[in-house]
Structure 1
Amino acid sequence: MTHSTQGTTIDVREIPPRERHPLIFSTFRGLAAGEALELVNDHDPRPLYHQFQAEMPGQFSWGYLQAGPELWRVRIQKHGGAHSDGRCCGSCGGA
């Protein structure tokens, strides 16, 4: 994982599969609204997109920067949180 003024890049090609999604979600949760991470992978991370849709609907945007055939790069941007507009998301107890 690398950090720069441009954002965070996670290259999961050398990370054991069982550690990939926890690392990606942990990194994403640490982003401020408007920040993004770039994911680098050797296959289309479509299952990850569906997991984001299930766990964080409306909280991110997903855009392919490169779509194979040997390398995929995806930009995942964090949207404003449910509390940024003064409303509760209903799942955190108002924290």
Structure 2
Amino acid sequence: MLPTQSSVIDVREIAPRERHAFIFGRFDELLPGEALQLVNDHDPQPLRHQFEARSAGEFKWAYLQQGPDLWRVLISKSEPTAASQDSCCSGGACGG
């Protein structure tokens, strides 16, 4: 299923120290099924690793273009899984 909405973030226009925080902030605002498209001048693998550590199972990563001078990546917010919805910890009730 394709994302219902995609906004484009040209990472090249953001100060390097602000990029990841900005992208995560925009990702957190997405509804399930929506997406961000990143445009960058290099492969954003370090960002992907951060997404895997921070938001495992909550996103999909798809390359739309892979260099050599321009990369485009579609980062989609996944629908919540039944396991994450039914967990006693999903609302912080068990402190875990």
The alignment's TM-score, normalised by the length of structure 2, stands at: 0.82
> Aligned in 2, Cα 1:34/1:43: closer, same or farther, shift over 3 Å?
same
Letter in 1 for 2:65: Q
Residue 7 (structure 2) pairs with residue 8 (structure 1): yes
The alignment's TM-score, normalised by the length of structure 1, stands at: 0.83
Aligned to 2:23: 24
Aligned to 1:73: 72
Unaligned 5+ residue runs, structure 1?
A: none
Q: State the shift of 1:87 in Å.
A: 1.9
Matches within 5 A, 1:10-89: 10-81=9-80, 86-88=85-87
Percent of residue pairs bearing the same amino acid type? 57
With 14-23 and 78-87 compared, the bigger mean Cα shift is at 78-87
Whole-angstrom distance in 1 between the partners of 2:89 and 2:33: 22
Whole-angstrom distance in 2 between the partners of 1:63 and 1:32: 18
Q: State the shift of 1:84 in Å.
A: 9.0
Q: State the shift of 1:7 in Å.
A: 1.7
Q: State the shift of 1:42 in Å.
A: 0.4
Whether the aligned pair in 1 keeps the contact of 2:65 and 2:71 (CA below 8 Å) is: yes
Computing the radius of gyration from Cα coordinates, the structure with the larger value is 2
Whether the aligned pair in 1 keeps the contact of 2:5 and 2:33 (CA below 8 Å) is: no
Number of residue equivalences: 90
SS in 1 for 2:86: coil
Letter in 2 for 1:11: D
Letter in 1 for 2:28: R
